[in-house]
Structure 1
Amino acid sequence: MYGINWSVHPLFVLVMLASIATGYFVELITLFAIVLVHEIGHVLAAKGFGWTVHEVKLLPFGGVAEVEEGANLPAREDAIVAIAGPLQNVWMGALAWAFGETGLWNQEWSLYVMHANIMIGLFNLLPILPLDGGKLLQAALSRMMPHRQTLVWMGRISLVLSCMMIIFAVIPAFHEPGGGIQANLLAVGLFLLLTNWTAYRHIPFLFIRFLTHRADVSSRSMALGGWALPIVVSKRHSIASALRLFRRDSYHLIVVMEEPGNIVAVLPEQQLVNGYLAEGKADRAVLELFM
């Protein structure tokens, strides 16, 4: 579909098997359809911006898309694509309510479909990666702080909230008479915790990927024209410390200054990135790039 490889995540397979075993097959098909339409909303929005989407893995609460351009896509586009999924749940929930009010569906089934859309839509708006709410928060943070700092903070926020979800899932087993663990919520919480722990450990690699695609940002900035955001460093600043100041949507000029305030050189960001990627010596001083 749309030239994209669609697959079902093992977590969704477990939910399917549990639903079949407990006799909720129709509800399972309905859930699958809601999740599929939710994810198609993301894909259509992404395709509208010309993104290259390679694969979509469907999960019980939505899906995870593999996008070629990654973190160098404009934050505005990322936010629009993220919100496009929950918006599908809005019209599907409203349609289910309308069908119930007009008698096309019985009230019980109408309420079930409406509540399923509300739950999936709201759950996806939680500020945890890779949920839509996490992507929205990440897009907002990227407008206020450097990209590497955004990765670190989003990793921390996602890990804390994932742990809170796990705690919330097991609390009924200890505080409610006859209460049990909320297995579905626990499984999703563990999945999000593992996903974000892996991503947090891989922040250095994610940052390098961000740098390798900076040429796209440069080309986009030159094609559209606009302001460059200067980064002021001393000539003894390391390349790594300067690169960590790069912002997602900005094109940078690196202003190298001596201690009294005299400008030694103005470097385009590509020179800094290429100097780092070509030799990988992040601790070199910026001064070495023009010696």
Structure 2
Amino acid sequence: MENKNKFPTIHIHPILIFFIAVGIVTGMLTELIIIFTLVCFHELGHFLCARFYKWRIERIFLWVFGGTMETDEAFRRPIKEEFFVTLAGPFQNVLVFIILIFLPKDLFPESVYTLILQYNGAILLGNLLPIWPLDGGKLVKLTLDYLIPYHRAHYWMVSLSVFSLVIGIAYCFLTDLANLSIFLLFSFLLMENRLEWKRRYYRWWRFLWFRWTEPKRYPKTEWLTFNDTENVKVVLQNFYRNRNHIIILEKDGLSYPVPEKEFLRVYMNGKHLTMNKHV
């Protein structure tokens, strides 16, 4: 049933509350207001684009360099839609640069104008890093979803994300950029990636459950060939997002086409984890 709430619940992440407290104590109220405004404007892009595609939005988490929009649309929407919703946030930051070009130069003090440029650039570039759950990490995930099976895509996404984090941490220490804010940011991202790694089997199971309970027809069909003694789980690990699957089973020198729903049925029933008893 479609969510009828036009405006989702908004939560402020604890790490953003910490930065707010630090900003007040250290007298950085102007910087705090600029960052918070830019973060909200960034997240507004995701929200408006998701609403355009009529996504069901549960809640929005705001944190230092962006936010996370939680939806109930996992696997239900085309990869293209997710791609545009993900890019809508960084597009807002590009829009800020364009707006600043046409605004009167005396509208803000020069110091404030410079801060807006610096923080907007940091939020834009920071969110495009290939790290989960930043927008760049999500774009990497969507690209992998298109190129390789979902099970492998999720594994490689987390692996590439953690590798990028390690490179980023090393760079900050080698260039003396490391400070408390950077430490907290990287700690938050490492925890998010650790959590995503622990959820990898659950994510894959949800992917299969969606295909089992809400079957759809997609423009593209993937043909997979396996021996009839192959484990059903191995076959399902080769399923792609947004594609139909026809599995060719080879048995006694003959080939049998089997639709994906048969493999899903066998797997969900938890019996006979090879297909040789079913063909």
TM-score, structure 2 as length reference: 0.91
* Residue 267 of structure 1, aligned match among 245, 248, 258: 258
Shift of 1:216: 7.2
Structure with more of its chain in helix, by fraction: 1
1:211 aligns with 2:208: yes
* Residue 239 of structure 2, aligned match among 246, 249, 252: 246
CA distance in 2, matches of 1:238, 1:181: 48
Shift of 1:105: 2.0
CA distance in 1, matches of 2:251, 2:98: 62
| Partner SS, residue 147 of structure 2 | coil
Shift of 1:209: 0.9
Q: Over residues 128-176 of structure 1, what are the superposed CA-to-partner deviations in whole Å (9 max), with x where a residue is unaligned?
A: 1111111111111112111111001001011111222333344456xxx
Q: Which runs of 4+ in 1 moved over 6 A?
A: none
- 5 Å matches for 1:175-186? 181-186=178-183
| Partner SS, residue 10 of structure 2 | strand
Is the 2:227–2:249 Cα contact (8 Å) retained in structure 1? yes
* Residue 285 of structure 1, aligned match among 267, 274, 277: 274
Residue segments in structure 2 that go unaligned for 5+ positions in a row: none
State the Cα RMSD in Å: 2.0
Shift of 1:244: 0.6
CA distance in 1, matches of 2:198, 2:267: 21
How many residues are treated as equivalent by the alignment? 275
Change in Cα spacing, 1:240 to 1:15, as seen in structure 2 (3 Å) is: same
- Say which is worse superposed, 38-47 or 268-277, in terms of deviation: 268-277
Is the 2:212–2:264 Cα contact (8 Å) retained in structure 1? no
- Say which is worse superposed, 163-172 or 20-29, in terms of deviation: 163-172
1:232 aligns with 2:225: yes
CA distance in 2, matches of 1:87, 1:59: 18
CA distance in 2, matches of 1:127, 1:286: 39
Is the 2:8–2:58 Cα contact (8 Å) retained in structure 1? yes
Corresponding residue for residue 131 of structure 2: 128
| Partner SS, residue 65 of structure 1 | strand
Shift of 1:259: 5.3
- 5 Å matches for 1:53-202? 53-99=57-103, 101=105, 103-171=106-174, 181-202=178-199
CA distance in 1, matches of 2:167, 2:204: 27
Q: Name the % identity.
A: 26
Shift of 1:198: 1.6
Instruction: Give the aligned residue type for 2:193.
Output: N
Is the 1:162–1:193 Cα contact (8 Å) retained in structure 2? yes
CA distance in 2, matches of 1:59, 1:45: 20
Shift of 1:232: 1.4
| Partner SS, residue 23 of structure 1 | coil
Residue segments in structure 1 that go unaligned for 5+ positions in a row: 174-179
Shift of 1:100: 5.3
Is the 1:52–1:69 Cα contact (8 Å) retained in structure 2? yes
| Partner SS, residue 70 of structure 1 | coil
- Say which is worse superposed, 13-22 or 66-75, in terms of deviation: 66-75
Change in Cα spacing, 1:109 to 1:216, as seen in structure 2 (3 Å) is: farther
Corresponding residue for residue 15 of structure 1: 19
Shift of 1:215: 4.5
Corresponding residue for residue 42 of structure 2: 38
Is the 1:93–1:115 Cα contact (8 Å) retained in structure 2? no
TM-score, structure 1 as length reference: 0.88
| Partner SS, residue 257 of structure 1 | strand
Shift of 1:217: 6.7
Change in Cα spacing, 1:25 to 1:234, as seen in structure 2 (3 Å) is: same
| Partner SS, residue 249 of structure 2 | strand
Is the 1:232–1:254 Cα contact (8 Å) retained in structure 2? yes
Shift of 1:233: 1.2
CA distance in 1, matches of 2:259, 2:79: 22
| Partner SS, residue 211 of structure 1 | helix
Q: Over residues 180-212 of structure 1, what are the superposed CA-to-partner deviations in whole Å (9 max), with x where a residue is unaligned?
A: 742212211111111111211221111001111
